[in-house]
Amino acid sequence: MLPPTETFTLRSTLTSPFGRKVRMAIDVLGLADRVTIVPADTLDENDTLRQQNPLGKLPCLLLADGTALYDSRVIIEFLQELAGSSRLVPPRGLERYTILSRAVLADGITDAGLLMVYEGRFREPATFSERWLKHQRGKIARALATFETAPPPSDRTDVVSISLTCALGYLDWRKPVAWRDEHPRLVSWLAAYGEYEPAVARTRIPAA
């Protein structure tokens, strides 16, 4: 059992979409005073992130005893249990697995968008794989179409609404695909949910 006053360190950046997921969860669960954000550089071989998470990926949550938790989904479940809540992920039953699956779908949009951005960041233009980019665009298109048909409630915060907010925010920021014109219900949902949930504005990626 963790001490009720234990504090934690979140290795992340303010621009990481998966880090933003965790920051939103921290805000919603009322844990902001117990978590300190320490930036990490995933490309720096000397950054201690690689000792904390062997994959060198963000986000990574460090406990006082040095235990490291990684992957935003794992961290969010830990934070929910820490807060004594079941607001973000139901504790059991089919609803739990349905919500987790929908959150994975939203995360898949972010994953595919990241891979498209990395294609441009780490390859020379002459070596871009259009086949690979098309493959990622297809994932994003299918996932967006699914959410366009059935967006989450705009007046409830759970792991689906958090994950989808961060996915759409990443698409707006990095622009691997244009999504707004073809998905008016999602545009409306994002605006309405942003009005409902203050954590959306509080965790928004800072303007360049």
Q: What is the pLDDT of residues 16-41, one digit of tens each?
A: 999 999 999 999 999 999 999 999 99
* Residue ranges of domains in the chain, CATH in brackets: 8-83 (3.40.30.10), 93-197 (1.20.1050.10)
Q: How many CB atoms lie within 10 A of CB 89?
A: 21
Work out the number of other CB atoms within 10 angstroms of the CB of residue 121.
9
- The type of residue at 73 is R
Bond prior to 4 in cis (omega within 30° of 0): no
Number of residues that this document lists for the chain: 208
- Determine if the pTM surpasses 0.75: yes
Segment 166-192, tens digit of pLDDT: 999 999 999 999 999 999 999 999 999
